[in-house]
Structure 1
């Protein structure tokens, strides 16, 4: 039998609620407003839920106005037609697992990962929009990477299981996006030289690109990294991820990673926002009649206006697969998405669990 997760009985003549509701353990929210309930505590619950939703709505509208006004709000509301399916670990015959070493505890302790299948990056400038959106999330919700850092990988190029670990700067080797393989200490020295050249050329203190994040590693004896089953470093947060797992136009399935030295909840909030943004972009790409092959350019790009045609609603739901983070003994540390994750975007996405 179907078990409801939400109940809307607003503006009826209910003076009491049936006791059978106690047999609905998966019920997450109930709209009870506008009913002459005898138990005033239930009325307060309804108002509290409505207040939380109103607060979320105002926050979304504020962010959307900041991002570009009514046009983007209309597009975001249209995302309500999306379906986001969550595939649980137990339903997946070969789930991805990340093992976290004890050393990350003192360097960058928090990591959240998941798999997202079914993205559309081939048409037009879809890749550029995807990368631009990631850059914007780094600037805003990630607070210029000081709160958290996002890394996105082509799942087909990720060899699991993965290990989240730390290495000394002289031992950590990575092939950064658009560069040749290099040791972490040499990469940071190279970026510092480039930053100084940037300042001299532009005659100002501000620098762009990876150079903005060098100070985030100041004072650390070891650097965090995500290593694949072949021993290759695919991510070096908060600086860069690897050319080996780079997102391309042919990418259909993603491995998403968010790390932080601040809190686990920040990682989850950023991951929620990232999945929502990818879902929006996916819908826009499928409904937009773009021509041309676009570019795989990894530089920051500003996306042009997207033409949305509501009549073309042939999209299959994106599938989110849970990823476990365990310690080196196999004990569970984090599972994403859990039952409480992706709840903040429920008004924009229908999550099938």
Structure 2
């Protein structure tokens, strides 16, 4: 009997010790992590000022890496500066999203996550990328945009990779991705780098649909680019293209016309053009059109900029915005005539610029208003507490506070994600992290004190653009720099000219401080200086 008792007693002590250790472990765990562990969830999202403060004081809670069943981790908008080595323990992880943090190095142990499908480290401080991707054979999406990366390793074994985003970096060479193993690569985003050449082997990527190399240092396009049969969206704007005829086509034509011209005229390693075929005749017609464009010495369109008068609408900027969303520029585009088609395309254009130049609203946000609905008097750019800011959001029937809108959008996003069984959010819900945990929200008010804009989330319904709108109030805000605002607005106006295929009349809008001193005005003499020869003429009246 004694021997049985002596056998049971250590087991009881061992079980009690385990319970004690578990309770002590749970006691020191972050509540967010404890909830995930207790409910046996497979996903965790950590963001906002509260998480940021915890990381500043104690670093990332190490107990996160005990949740070995996790398949989704999102940590964003914090001071997180490194990825702990214990990340390698989360072998079931499929999505690792660590965007908009302060990460300096990409931990090479990520290569141990052999189930990883999505890696997002955009908006950090990476300068180098270790050669880790060859072991990530399940990877589908890699997003390292908005870093300081100078070189990217060769990709070979990533047969499932569909999207690679390296935009807004310091790349001097086109990444080594032109190989037959990357059979599913369909989106390659490399805008705003220092790339000088597109490799001739670009046509080896059979499913390439999107190629964005805008704002680089590319002087010519290889002829083999014309053989990318699936390519539907090509952006090579804002490059020093030497071929003037090609430059005109880039500014005025669609992807198919550009590819036809490049196929016919660009340098090529193996030419497949059939001189007597219908395709050959079509290319000949494109060539003739390009010559016509080149020989036309007159501008095709013009933007006339009118000086803002003392009694014109101005924006009064409050000191409160300096720590929230400091920069704003505005202008008014007059006498626009919308059709159902152009209105739809205009709204789609905003979404496109939000994705690209605005870096998914991280760098800047565009808002458009029917100017005649704003009423008379000046506008005010200021901040309000979440429970004090009130507006009727775009396409919603009920007025709500900023706090109520944020919470409602959170619930909608979570319900939609669960319904669609996705790990990511869509639409406006993707941008909620940009304001999460903020003590005050930025907003633009009309002269009656009504909120007309709540950047970077939504506009108010009272100034909604409609088919009958003729004068458009354009607004761009940013927390990063005034120049980013100007770059975005310049591009928006240029794209509007091409969309409407018409001249634009633009009225300046001044930004004044609360004492009445002008902070900036847009467009100034330094703005709208396009490099496109003979396409858009800028006429400045009384500037």
When normalised by structure 2's length, the TM-score is 0.46
Asked whether the 8 Å contact 2:369–2:464 carries over to 1, the reply is yes
Match of 1:108 among 325, 332, 336: 325
SS in 1 for 2:416: helix
Partners of 1:194 and 1:229 in 2: how far apart? 32
Runs of 4+ aligned structure 1 residues displaced above 2 Å come to 51-61, 70-80, 344-348
Partners of 1:241 and 1:170 in 2: how far apart? 17
SS in 1 for 2:530: helix
The equivalent residue for 1:237 is 455
The equivalent residue for 2:239 is 56
The equivalent residue for 1:323 is 509
Is 1:276 the counterpart of 2:491 in the alignment? no
The equivalent residue for 1:250 is 468
Rate the CA distance shift 1:106–1:93 in 2: closer, same or farther, 3 A. Answer: closer
Matches for 1:120-159 after TM superposition, within 5 Å: 120-121=337-338, 123-159=339-375
User: How far 1:93 sits from its partner (Å)?
Assistant: 6.5
User: How far 1:80 sits from its partner (Å)?
Assistant: 4.8
Asked whether the 8 Å contact 2:334–2:506 carries over to 1, the reply is yes
Rate the CA distance shift 1:181–1:327 in 2: closer, same or farther, 3 A. Answer: same
SS in 2 for 1:177: coil
Is 1:171 the counterpart of 2:388 in the alignment? yes
SS in 1 for 2:468: coil
Asked whether the 8 Å contact 1:272–1:345 carries over to 2, the reply is no
Rate the CA distance shift 1:175–1:71 in 2: closer, same or farther, 3 A. Answer: farther
Partners of 2:431 and 2:472 in 1: how far apart? 24
Partners of 2:469 and 2:257 in 1: how far apart? 28
The equivalent residue for 2:301 is 82
CA RMSD of aligned residues (A): 2.9
User: How far 1:115 sits from its partner (Å)?
Assistant: 0.7
User: How far 1:346 sits from its partner (Å)?
Assistant: 5.1
After superposition, give the CA deviation of every residue in 1:2-50 in whole Å (9 maximum; x if it has no partner): xxxxxxxxxxxxxxxxxxxxxxxxxxxxxxxxxxxxxxxxxxxxxxxxx
Asked whether the 8 Å contact 1:276–1:345 carries over to 2, the reply is no
Where does structure 2 lack aligned partners over 5 or more consecutive residues?
1-215, 220-237, 260-285
Partners of 1:127 and 1:99 in 2: how far apart? 29
The equivalent residue for 2:478 is 260
After superposition, give the CA deviation of every residue in 1:296-335 in whole Å (9 maximum; x if it has no partner): xxxxxxxxxxxxxxxxxxx5x3111111001000011111
The equivalent residue for 1:162 is 379
Asked whether the 8 Å contact 1:235–1:241 carries over to 2, the reply is yes
Partners of 1:169 and 1:129 in 2: how far apart? 33
SS in 1 for 2:483: helix
Rate the CA distance shift 1:53–1:113 in 2: closer, same or farther, 3 A. Answer: farther
After superposition, give the CA deviation of every residue in 1:77-122 in whole Å (9 maximum; x if it has no partner): 8995111100012xx463220000000000000000001112221x
Rate the CA distance shift 1:350–1:216 in 2: closer, same or farther, 3 A. Answer: same
Partners of 1:157 and 1:70 in 2: how far apart? 40
The equivalent residue for 2:441 is 223
After superposition, give the CA deviation of every residue in 1:216-251 in whole Å (9 maximum; x if it has no partner): 012310000000001110000000011111111101
Is 1:183 the counterpart of 2:183 in the alignment? no
SS in 1 for 2:500: helix
- Which structure's CA Rg is the greater one? 2
Partners of 1:275 and 1:322 in 2: how far apart? 13
SS in 1 for 2:449: coil
Asked whether the 8 Å contact 1:162–1:227 carries over to 2, the reply is yes
Partners of 1:214 and 1:95 in 2: how far apart? 34
Q: Which moved more, 1:123-132 or 1:320-329?
A: 123-132
User: How far 1:72 sits from its partner (Å)?
Assistant: 7.3
The equivalent residue for 1:349 is 536
Where does structure 1 lack aligned partners over 5 or more consecutive residues?
1-50, 284-314
Match of 2:418 among 200, 203, 207: 200
Kindly tell me the number of residue pairs found equivalent between the two proteins. Answer: 266
User: How far 1:71 sits from its partner (Å)?
Assistant: 3.7
Rate the CA distance shift 1:194–1:331 in 2: closer, same or farther, 3 A. Answer: same
User: How far 1:349 sits from its partner (Å)?
Assistant: 1.3
After superposition, give the CA deviation of every residue in 1:123-157 in whole Å (9 maximum; x if it has no partner): 24111111011111101100000000000001111
Partners of 1:83 and 1:144 in 2: how far apart? 30
Q: Which has the higher contact order (CA 8 A, sep 6+)?
A: 1
Asked whether the 8 Å contact 1:171–1:184 carries over to 2, the reply is yes
User: How far 1:344 sits from its partner (Å)?
Assistant: 3.0
